[in-house]
Amino acid sequence: MEKNLKKNKIAIIGLGYVGLPLLIEFSKKYKVIGFDLNKKRIEEIESGKDLYNENIIKKELHYKNCLLTTKIKNLHSADIFIITVPTPIFKNNKPNLLPLKKVSRDIASIIKKGSILIFESTVYPGVTEDVCVPIIEKYSGKVFNKDFYCGYSPERINPGDKKHQLKNIVKIVSGSDKKTLDIVDQLYASIIKAGTYRVSNIKTAEAAKIIENTQRDINIALINELSMIFNKLELETEEILDAASSKWNFNRYDPGLVGGHCISVDPYYLVAKAKEIGYFPKIISSGRKINDGMAEYVFNRTKMYLKTKNENLKSKKVCIFGITFKEDCPDIRNSQVVKIVDKFRENGSVVHVHDPVANYDNVWDEFSIRLKKRLNKNYYDIAILAVPHKAFHNLGVKKIKSFLKKKSILYDLKWMFKSEYSDLR
């Protein structure tokens, strides 16, 4: 490990919405190797494309400092390895550490004495040292904190956010010993304008990251539950929140679907670890249950509204506006809109999904849903405004209603338009 960090070569493993911004920023000052198993992803970056819509690659990436590869053996010359692989969950909501375990085993075959491995993937406290390190030791034959070292610096990327970019977000840094912490701190400080925040150990850094998303999940769950209560009371949730927000210390959150790779996943990691040590978390689990059930709640409200009109869902034509997990962002991971689509189809409805922001091929590959690019006038019985894209705001409620039959239902899930235009909110 060179004392002058600029003489070291950095390998970034995983070039998704977390790894690509790192590749771009580090390429401005260091020699970097970008690794991803997906050959198509490598080809996209080489051609200057980014489906995550996070960066203008051709203008920002210093290709002369980069080697892009799908072969792990091509990382052998690196001194510092930054791991940004996904940490998903299984269908039973248990943590899926298989990607992390695989990359730990793969890296073990190429690290050399003095290598530093920095993990960025969101995990519960203890994964780096209790899960990854033993695998690396086993398959490398090297000793932790003697032959190789580890750091943990959790990603804080917010997909689709043009203001809070990598270099503008404070970076938490940690290391397996004091010297490693200094190196990790110096490394990130060289590209992060907002600065770094040092913590005393890796487990603290892991815990800090996971509670960021858990707290947000719980806050949204509270508002979702309040909206259910207010709907039954026939009160406008939006007006109530506007009024409450007039107090200086009221924290405003809006109800809605909670998807994406972070908020809808990370709390399950903390729940799993808590149960492992004999504590059964009530608030975190309840929050997840509420937010996971919002898609079904939306479906049931629509169904019950139809019932008051002595109608059912069979053969009803439904158009859902938006399938990405958040507005103005093409990211479709863990989209809760898909659950709504499934519920309507299970009950005999014909469902179309329209989303000008999502990638047509990605949606088909991931969910087997063909996006409807053009909508027919006077065709739909039900329209659900699920994701508040600017494109839908610009379309306007009058144009949206032109796609509906005269006797129809408009469910404005995210309060895009004034309440008088909607049948359900």
Spatial separation of the C-alpha atoms in residues 338 and 400, rounded to whole Å: 21
Spatial separation of the C-alpha atoms in residues 210 and 188, rounded to whole Å: 20
Q: Which amino acid type is present at position 85? A: V
Strand partners, 385: 321, 412
Spatial separation of the C-alpha atoms in residues 125 and 207, rounded to whole Å: 5
Q: What is the DSSP string of 360-381?
A: HHHHHHHH-----SS--TT-EE
Tell me the CB-side half-sphere exposure of residue 89, using CA atoms within 13 A. Answer: 22
List of residues 6+ apart from 197 with CB closer than 8 A:
170, 171, 172, 173
309 CA to centre of own chain? 39
Nearest alpha-carbon partner for 411 in 306, 259, 260:
306
58 three-class SS: helix
Spatial separation of the C-alpha atoms in residues 375 and 395, rounded to whole Å: 12
Q: Catalytic residue positions?
A: 262
Residues 219, 252: contact at Cβ < 8 Å?
no
List of residues 6+ apart from 330 with CB closer than 8 A:
51, 52, 53, 160, 324, 357, 358, 359, 362
Q: Which two tokens stand for residue 180?
A: 């490693």
Spatial separation of the C-alpha atoms in residues 282 and 274, rounded to whole Å: 11
List C-alpha distances in Å: 16 to 35, 57, 100, 171. 10, 13, 15, 18
